[in-house]
Chains A and B, each alone.
Chain A
Amino acid sequence: MKLSLLKRKETPSFLRRWMKGIQAGSIQSIIMWSFSVFILVIVAIVAVLLYDKFSRTAEQNVFLSTQQIVDQVSYNLEDYVDGMAQLYRAIEENMLADGQWDDDQVTRQLDTIMSSRDDIVSIGLFDDQGSLLRNHPSMPVRESARVSQQSWFHSAMRVSNHLSFSLPHVQNLYDDTYKWVVSMSKGITVVHDGEPMHVVLLVDINFKKIDELSSRISLGKRGYVYIIDEGAGNIVYHPQQQLIYMGLRNESVEKALTSSDSYIDESAGLKRLNTVKSVVNIGWKVVGVSYLDEIMTTREEMNRYLVQVVAVVLVLAVLISLLLSAMLTRPIRRMGQTMKAVERGDFNVELPLKGPLEVVQLSSRFNLMLDKIRQLMRQIIVEQESKRKYELEALQAQINPHFLYNTLNSVVRMVGMSKNEEVITMITSLSKLFRISLSKGKTSITVGEELEHARHYLTIQQMRFKRKFDFTIDADEASLSCFTLKLVLQPLIENAIVHGIEYMVDEGLIRISARVQGDMLVLEVADNGVGMPQQKVESILADTQSYKDESRIDSGSGSGVAVRNVHDRIRLYYGIQYGLEFESEQEEGTTVRVYIPVMRETGEEARDDE
């Protein structure tokens, strides 16, 4: 059961495997084989069709030509027999018209007739007992001839006044000659010497004419013609008559006797075409025999020729398909080699743009792709470098020595002035500030923590600047739990104090707010300081790509570098659609908005791999 199942499965799976094998093969071999097979199939079909057509035509031609030849033989024979019958009538009229056959006039006339036709062997007139009355040429009849027992005499006596033709036989009437003749005989009643008399007129015609006529015919190489007597099937003429009589050869006369058209029989293992045609006036049948294996020989020759043609075409097809496939696959292989080089890490390669259209397109795409890859790689290198720099800077921002020094100075001053309460507040804020700054090395913290950090920073700065400004912090409940990069706000606040508030005459106000706007978290640092001209607003965030590294050396000094740093960090972390937005009016104040995506969980996990 299992076995049979397996077996049943085997064939299609084999086929499938084969198909797969073809599909898996190289383009070169696919093109070559399919092209070769295609041409071979076409040529084979054409060859088979041609062969079929040719062989059928050849066969028809043989049938037709045999038929025509046999017809021709039969017509010739009929004509000949007709002529002989006319001759017989002429002889009969001359000899028997007036019942006298002995006078000179008859002799002269017979001489004329004899000399006009060389195929008349002899003319003889016998009485009804078989004794000679008159013959021409005049010769003694052999005693042993037994005229009355000869077949032509019998048939003349049997039906009187009817011209009968005998089968060819050896004439044995006269001395020294044994000629093959066909006897024409007729029983006639004439008035001789005033008395009615029954006589038999015999005209022997030479069989040579008929023999030659028949033996000259050849049908194909070995085909021949034979003649039989329609009455009894006796052989009148056969090229191998003796062999038939000796039993060395067989001719199936019976079939020819009953047939009136052509038929195929088999003799000695060979198929033969027999074509039969009757010769009506003498009661004979002409049978043409042609050997069908001779047609087969031409067929075989043609077969061989076709095989040769197919072989040559196949060889040509394989050669051409080999060249074609090699030509087509060369650029693909070149491409493969180039790709291999890329695989090894060599990105500085380029495919030449030549070859067929598709290959050119593919090559140019490949080149473009390679170009893009190169570009991306460069970009990645740049990004990685800047990321590392920002992180270093952020690290530096965590413990800004300048800020620490200023704060501590303020603390010392306050201690000197014995403002203990303020000292406590300041140091507590400082410590909390640093705690959040460090926040266990994490890069993102909650907005709440960030705002807390901002508050502590503002508290310290407020004390340092001797309450030169005030500040407010508002936040949505929803925004508090969102995560953000840490220390985003501090540079902005520092910026607001240093550039907005410090030079102000009046008391400044810094408003910090956080809110969720759609899927965006917006952090806002607004001051009512001196503001900036529009030109400067634009220049702060102008093309982060193009700024020079050298210009960023004095970070934290207030040249806007720290702010841009924040902007770049955000864009690097969250994408280029996020970042800072400045809005400033001179003498009115500046508002900086930080746009980052709403993230409900720490981005730490997602960023772990970075």
Chain B
Amino acid sequence: MNKRCKLLKMLGLCALMLAAAGLSACSTSQLGNVEESPIRIALVAPVHAEEQGDAMRLGADAAAKEFAVELEYISFEPMEGAKEQLSAALQIVQKGASAVLIDPADERVLTELAASAFAAGAPVVALNDERTAKGVMAAIAIDNEEAGRKAGEAMAELLGGSGTVAILRSDRSDPDLEQREAGARAVLAEYAGIRITDGAVCGNSRDACWQAAKQLLDKGPLDGVLALEIQASLGVSDELKRREEQGKTKIVTFGNELEQLELLQEGIIHKLVVQNGFSTGYLGVKQAVALLSGERIEKLTLLETKVIDADNMFWMNNQKTLFPFVQ
């Protein structure tokens, strides 16, 4: 009787060990399954900013390779706007993306996407946008006020400390742009010789901005124009070229679109405050991966900006930022 008990015990022990071995085998096979379906991160490109979007994609691709995740890139035609961006973003959330990176066209896109993604359990990382909404777990953006300051400094330097400056604003209310403007105004206010006249407002279209610039310049000569957005800078440049006054009015603006760079080389635009799209995309993916693996991260990552002019635009380390693509 006793012996039988002992034997049974030993058999039980063996069964346990077998079970353990089986379990370990199972768990490894599960691990294998996880490896088969990698993390899918979607990058929703900004609307109306192809170059910037492509640069972000390049950075995101580099990060995706480094962290072994799958990247899905959603881009838009020049015609498409906030509505299309939102629907595309919601669709990708429904398709089961692990995380969404988005450069939102406006606040509505961000809030709605964030709400839907939060419900689906996918973190949202906002790019080039400091606004937060429920579900936005991280943001990568430039320090807009600092960028504005740099622009203001650049303008003051170009003007030699005295002159009339107009600011070309957007017709949208965007806290990023407001911060840029505030930063620039703060710096320019320090120079006694610099007077800020009434600026103009234009939307996200080159023609509209050209018209606005025309009206602005018609009011009287300006020493400098600070264009807060890409299209605004192009509009002002067009008007100055039309008046054949290129170079006389200094233009300081933001962005690194190819056209802006050409204008910079030609001396129509004088200073560009540039952000690195590659870093934005790279850090976006990096943060998303960190979020998915449950690490604690800084919610807001601020990126440096650079002031570029015709002299330093072909410097070795600026070339890669300004011209990210090898064609």
Which residues of A pack against B, CB within 8 Å? 32, 142-144, 167-170, 172, 175-176, 178-180, 206-208, 211, 221-222, 234, 239-243, 245-246, 248, 304, 307-308, 311-312, 314-315, 318-319, 322, 326, 333
Contacts and interface: CB of A to CB of B under 8 A. Distances in A.
Contact of A246 (B7, B28, B267, B276): B276
A242 B278 contact: yes
Nearest to A143: B266
Interface string B239-281: 0000000000000000000100110011100000000101100
A33 to B, nearest CB: 11
A208 B283 contact: no
B279 A242 contact: yes
A293 to B, nearest CB: 12
A208 B327 contact: yes
A322 B14 contact: yes
How many residues of B sit at the interface, in one of the four size bands? 35 or more
Nearest to A313: B21
Interface stretch (B172-180, B182-190, B313-321): B313-321
A326 B278 contact: no
Interface stretch (B61-69, B91-99, B213-221, B288-296): B61-69
B310 to A, nearest CB: 7
Closest 8 CB pairs of A and B: A242-B278, A245-B317, A311-B21, A180-B326, A211-B326, A315-B17, A170-B323, A170-B319
7 contacts: A168-B326, A179-B327, A207-B326, A240-B66, A242-B282, A242-B324, A243-B278
Interface in B35-93: 58-59, 62, 65-66, 68
Contact of A180 (B18, B68, B323): B323
A206 B3 CA distance: 85
A241 to B, nearest CB: 5
A315 B326 contact: no
A222 B279 CA distance: 19
Residue among A144, A167, A221 having the largest count of chain B Cβ atoms under 10 Å: A144
A211 B324 CA distance: 12
A311 B14 contact: no
B62 A243 contact: yes
Contacts of A241: 320
Contact of A167 (B7, B59, B316, B325): B316
The DSSP consensus for interface residues of chain B is helix
A252 to B, nearest CB: 17
A234 B18 contact: no
Contacts of B119: none
Nearest to B65: A222
Contact of A169 (B276, B319, B321): B319
Contacts, number: 98
B19 to A, nearest CB: 10
A238 B62 CA distance: 11
B302 interface: no
B314 A172 contact: yes
B24 A243 contact: no
B10 A311 contact: no
Contacts of A169: 314, 316, 319
B120 interface: no
Given A207-B326, A242-B324, A248 B279 contact: yes
Given A144-B310, A312-B21, A246 B304 contact: yes
B14 A234 contact: no
B266 A308 contact: no
B24 A307 contact: yes
B20 interface: yes
Nearest to A168: B326
Contact of B279 (A206, A246, A304, A326): A246
A308 B14 contact: no
Contacts of A222: 65-66, 68
Residue among A172, A234, A245, A304 having the largest count of chain B Cβ atoms under 10 Å: A245
Contacts of B11: 322
A576 B261 CA distance: 134
A248 B7 contact: no
Nearest to B278: A242
Contacts of A326: 7
B255 to A, nearest CB: 15
B297 interface: no
Nearest to B24: A308
Contact of A248 (B3, B282, B323): B282
Given A144-B267, A241-B320, A243-B279, A318 B65 contact: no
A180 B327 contact: yes
Nearest to B66: A222
Given A246-B276, A314-B17, A208 B326 contact: yes
A170 B262 CA distance: 12
Contacts of A312: 21
A261 B20 CA distance: 47
Contacts of A318: 10, 13-14, 17
Nearest to A210: B326
A420 B261 CA distance: 177
Nearest to A211: B326
Contact of B25 (A167, A221, A308): A308
B326 A311 contact: no
Contacts of B304: 246
